[in-house]
């Protein structure tokens, strides 16, 4: 059976060119970057090259990039590291109801430790209003965290406006950019972003590898101690091969990013036109405007998402219920709940996400399979 993978928001396959760049550091170039001999210095140079490659995508200085073990660690280290360094005794923190669990659960844990937490609502389109951020601020507000793009719906948040509000108030602004990375410009200096988190496996790099941009002059404290690696923020010998892969994935993103965006937008428009636009059987969750090109979330009338996903998989189509981290959970999506969905729309929601290797034939086949699962007659027109 030919299988169609349409879950690129969960993870992307490792690009063959990325693997080729990694291979020497999995074999002959095995040195420890902290060693002074040639083996170590070769590894160290590779890590520094990767740092520059990540920084290039973000249009920042390589010295402001700290590598982590993935997006979740990047979010945690950014948020907790800043608060440990600057506001250890508490304060007011602000985030939104649609954040990834890596941020939302971290903020809820902070609330249990004495921080005063405000979780901002979103509109029916899944976006937070900048004015609601402004109105939530207090004299003791110490941190705002808003994601760049939602991993379930693909909706882009107004981070530039929020960054301006935070900057004017002198409040540190963190952006979880894991899902938005590579799909639209994320330049922290231009958007008044102080801390920004990204991950390699969303852009055809290896899993278990991420990074934080840290604004110059901002202090963070680590949550584990050891060697001086990564500005004393992440002790331990670096995963050189993974970092090289991350850097190569960023290099390819710079070269091919615009093409990938155009490709995904065209396929997303095709899917919407062929399945959702003129049918009462499907409901778009979110909007086509203000959304990343590779994600579309929709509900199927009278169908439970678990049934849809299992049936699709049996027919060779890989879809998702939303966040891959929570796809096995019985509870409804907190993102769609925050957007006001209920009943069939909530429990029948499905996420389809596109990649650089997705074809028009994949989309047309996916439409056919989904129609069959929904109980529609196959369209042979």
234 with 296, same domain: the answer is: no
234 with 335, same domain: the answer is: no
pLDDT for res 223: 87
86 with 235, same domain: the answer is: yes
Number of H helices, E strands in the chain: 12, 12
Quick check: is 379 in a domain? no
Quick check: is 167 in a domain? yes
Q: Domains in the chain: how many in total?
A: 2
56 with 200, same domain: the answer is: yes
Residue 304 clears pLDDT 80, i.e. is over it: yes
Quick check: is 285 in a domain? yes
261 with 173, same domain: the answer is: no
Question: Average pLDDT of 91-103?
Answer: 98
333 with 230, same domain: the answer is: no
345 with 267, same domain: the answer is: yes
Give the tens place of pLDDT for each residue, 3-13. Answer: 999 999 999 99
Quick check: is 321 in a domain? yes
Look at the chain and count its residues: 381
H helices of 87-181, where? 101-112, 130-136, 159-169
338 with 197, same domain: the answer is: no
176 with 33, same domain: the answer is: yes
pLDDT for res 331: 77
Strand arrangement, sheet containing 172-176: 65-68, 210-214, 195-199, 172-176, 141-145, 92-96, 116-120
243 with 274, same domain: the answer is: no
Range of the domain at 22: 16-252
Residue 328 clears pLDDT 80, i.e. is over it: no
pLDDT bucket at 325, cuts 50 / 70 / 90? low
Q: How far apart are the C-alpha atoms of 35 and 336, rounded to whole Å?
A: 50
272 with 193, same domain: the answer is: no
Quick check: is 381 in a domain? no
Percent pLDDT > 90 in the chain is 92
Closest-CA residue to 145 (of 194, 189, 213): 194
pLDDT for res 323: 61
Domain boundary among 252, 267, 299: 252
Give the tens place of pLDDT for each residue, 236-279. Answer: 999 999 999 999 999 999 999 999 999 999 999 999 999 999 89
Question: Average pLDDT of 79-89?
Answer: 96
100 with 237, same domain: the answer is: yes
Helix (H) or strand (E) holding 127: none
pLDDT for res 321: 86
pLDDT for res 376: 65
Give the tens place of pLDDT for each residue, 203-233. Answer: 999 999 999 999 999 999 998 899 999 999 9
pTM assigned to the model: 0.95
Active-site residue list: 325
DSSP 317: E
């Amino acid at each position: 059976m030919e299988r169609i993978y349409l879950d690129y928001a969960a993870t992307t396959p490792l690009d063959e060119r990325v693997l080729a760049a990694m291979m020497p550091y999995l074999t002959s170039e095995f040195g420890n970057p902290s060693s002074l001999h040639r083996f170590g210095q070769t590894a160290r140079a590779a890590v520094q090259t990767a740092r520059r490659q990540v920084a290039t995508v973000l249009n920042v200085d390589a010295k402001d990039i700290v590598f982590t073990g993935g997006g979740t660690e990047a979010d945690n280290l950014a948020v907790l590291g800043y608060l440990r360094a600057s506001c250890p005794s508490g304060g007011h923190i602000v985030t939104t109801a649609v954040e990834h669990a890596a941020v939302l659960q971290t903020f809820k844990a902070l609330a249990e430790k004495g921080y005063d937490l405000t979780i901002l609502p979103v509109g029916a389109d899944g976006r937070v209003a900048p004015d609601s951020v402004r109105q939530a601020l207090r004299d003791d507000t110490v941190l705002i965290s808003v994601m760049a793009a939602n991993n379930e719906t693909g909706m882009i948040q107004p981070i530039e406006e929020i960054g301006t509000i935070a900057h004017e108030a002198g409040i540190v602004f963190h952006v979880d950019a894991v899902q938005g990375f590579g799909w639209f410009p994320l330049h922290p200096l231009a958007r008044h972003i102080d801390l920004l988190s990204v991950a390699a496996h969303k852009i055809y790099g290896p899993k278990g590898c991420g990074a934080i941009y840290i604004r110059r002059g901002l202090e963070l404290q680590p949550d584990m101690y050891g060697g001086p690696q990564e500005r004393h923020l992440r002790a331990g010998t670096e995963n050189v091969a993974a970092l090289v892969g991350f850097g190569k994935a960023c290099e390819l993103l710079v070269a091919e990013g615009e093409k990938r965006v155009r490709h995904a937008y065209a396929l997303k428009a095709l899917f919407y036109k062929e399945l959702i636009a003129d049918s009462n059987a499907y409901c778009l969750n979110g909007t086509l405007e203000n959304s990343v090109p590779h994600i579309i979330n929709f509900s199927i009338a009278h169908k439970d998402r678990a049934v849809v996903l299992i049936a699709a998989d049996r027919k060779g189509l890989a879809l998702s219920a939303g966040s891959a981290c929570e796809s096995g959970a019985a509870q409804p999506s907190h993102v769609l709940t925050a957007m006001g969905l209920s009943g069939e729309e909530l429990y029948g929601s499905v996420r389809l996400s596109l990649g650089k290797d997705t074809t028009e034939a994949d989309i047309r086949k996916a439409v056919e399979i989904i129609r069959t699962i929904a109980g529609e007659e196959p369209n042979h027109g």
